[in-house]
Homo-oligomer: A and B are copies of this chain.
């Protein structure tokens, strides 16, 4: 389900991945398009579901979550509803990927302290065996995919 994207589309995507809050006029200047054409392009990209949102990124430490961890979860059975519910309740779980392999889920979790992390892991352990790795640092600053 891929869409054909030309150079201009990619230029727009590239700019908005880096600075999502620039105006459409400024965006047009950067990709050499008039404001109206830029508006149309962005509307198209949004309508096609290529661009699916614009998000502010925050420093987790600054907002009170100095501990970041990856928890892998071995989840026996196929009743996923209870886990879904925990994901809804626990905003500390930032990301949840269902994967192939022994560990069915890989979660990214933000915690206020090691004690808090322990609590979260305990809650997850109710679903299956967990493997937790604390993150030293985010080696890469945010970026999206480039042109294939």
Contact = CB atoms under 8 A, between A and B. Distances in A.
Contacts of A110: 145
Interface string A53-88: 111111111111110111000000000000010010
Number of copies: 2
Nearest to A15: B56
Contacts of A101: 131-134
A50 B48 CA distance: 32
B20 A48 contact: no
A19 B46 CA distance: 13
Nearest to A64: B148
Contacts of A51: 56-59
Given A2-B64, A70-B106, A148-B112, A100 B133 contact: yes
B65 A59 contact: no
Given A94-B143, A94-B144, A99-B136, 8 more contacts: A50-B62, A56-B144, A58-B145, A65-B145, A84-B139, A91-B146, A97-B139, A99-B133
A59 B63 contact: no
A54 to B, nearest CB: 4
A25 to B, nearest CB: 14
A96 B139 contact: yes
A139 B17 contact: no
A2 to B, nearest CB: 5
Given A99-B70, A145-B110, A18 B55 contact: yes
